[in-house]
C-alpha cells in the first residue's frame, strides 16, 4: 500500500447533510416493513378465506355487496399504517428547528465510536451502543435498538470514495452486525 493510500484509508470520513422529510419517511418505512409484510400476509389469508367461503356457499352476489366490509376494511388498515407513519414523520420534521435539520457525522478508524452534530449540539456515540448498521439503496441506518436509528443519506458523503471507507470502518468495528452490501 502506498503512503497516500494509507493516509486516505486512515483519514476520517465526514458526512454532512440537511435532513429531509423523505429521509425520515423512508427510514421509518424500513423500520416497520416486517410488520407491514406480516399485515399483508394476514390480510391476504383472511381475504382468501372469506372469498373461498362465499364461493363455497355459492353466494358471489353477497360477496360483492359485502366486499368493502370483509376485504376493503382490512386493506384500509394496512394502508392506514403507512399513512400514520407519513403523518408522524411530517409532524416530527415540522417540529424540528432549521438548525436541527443540519446533521454531521465523523467516523474515524480505530476509534471507540463516532461523533454526531445536530445544529449546535454535539455527541459521541460508542460502538458498543450500536445494535447494527443496515445499508439501503439511498441511506444507511445506525440502529441503537429496534425503534431508534440514525439516518445517513448517501448524498451526505463528500466523495464517492468515502462510502467504501465508511463501510470498512463500520465492518471493522461491528463485524457481523454490519449489514452492508
The pLDDT tens digits for 149-162 are: 999 999 999 998 99
The pLDDT tens digits for 105-117 are: 999 998 999 999 9
Q: Phi, psi (5° rounding) for residue 17?
A: -160, 165
Q: Are 47 and 63 in contact (CB under 8 A)?
A: no
Using alpha carbons, select from 105, 81, 82 the residue that is nearest to residue 19. Answer: 105
Report the range of poorest mean pLDDT among 5-14, 47-56, 137-146: 5-14
pTM for this structure? 0.79
CA–CA dist 139, 175 (Å, integer): 19
48: pLDDT strictly greater than 70: yes
Q: Residue holding cell 363455497?
A: 56
pLDDT for the residue 10: 75
Domain positions in the chain:
12-19+101-179, 25-95
Which residues contact residue 49 at a Cβ distance below 8 angstroms, ignoring those fewer than 6 apart? Answer: none
CA–CA dist 170, 52 (Å, integer): 50
pLDDT for the residue 5: 42
Confidence band of 44 (pLDDT split at 50, 70, 90):
confident
Considering the domain 12-19+101-179 in this protein, what is its CATH number?
A: 2.30.29
Alpha carbon dihedral 69, 71, 73, 79, in 10-degree steps, equals -170
CA–CA dist 156, 93 (Å, integer): 18
Radius of gyration of the chain (CA): 23
Name beta bridge partners: 178.
Answer: 133
Amino acid at each position: 500500500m502506498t503512503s497516500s493510500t494509507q493516509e486516505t484509508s486512515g483519514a476520517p470520513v465526514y458526512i454532512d447533510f440537511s435532513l429531509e422529510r423523505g429521509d425520515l419517511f423512508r427510514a421509518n418505512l424500513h423500520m416497520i416493513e416486517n410488520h407491514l409484510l406480516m399485515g399483508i400476509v394476514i390480510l391476504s389469508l383472511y381475504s382468501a378465506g372469506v372469498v373461498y367461503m362465499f364461493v363455497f356457499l355459492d353466494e358471489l352476489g353477497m360477496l360483492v355487496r359485502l366486499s368493502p366490509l370483509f376485504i376493503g376494511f382490512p386493506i384500509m388498515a394496512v394502508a392506514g399504517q403507512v399513512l400514520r407513519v407519513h403523518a408522524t414523520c411530517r409532524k416530527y420534521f415540522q417540529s424540528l428547528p432549521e438548525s436541527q435539520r443540519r446533521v454531521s457525522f465523523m467516523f474515524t478508524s480505530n476509534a471507540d465510536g463516532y461523533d454526531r452534530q445536530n445544529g449546535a449540539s454535539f455527541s459521541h456515540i460508542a460502538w458498543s451502543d450500536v445494535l447494527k448498521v443496515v445499508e439501503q439503496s439511498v441511506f444507511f441506518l445506525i440502529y441503537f435498538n429496534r425503534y431508534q436509528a440514525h439516518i445517513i443519506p448517501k448524498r451526505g458523503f463528500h466523495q464517492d470514495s468515502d462510502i467504501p471507507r465508511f463501510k470498512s470502518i463500520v465492518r471493522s468495528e461491528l463485524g457481523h452486525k454490519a449489514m452492508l452490501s
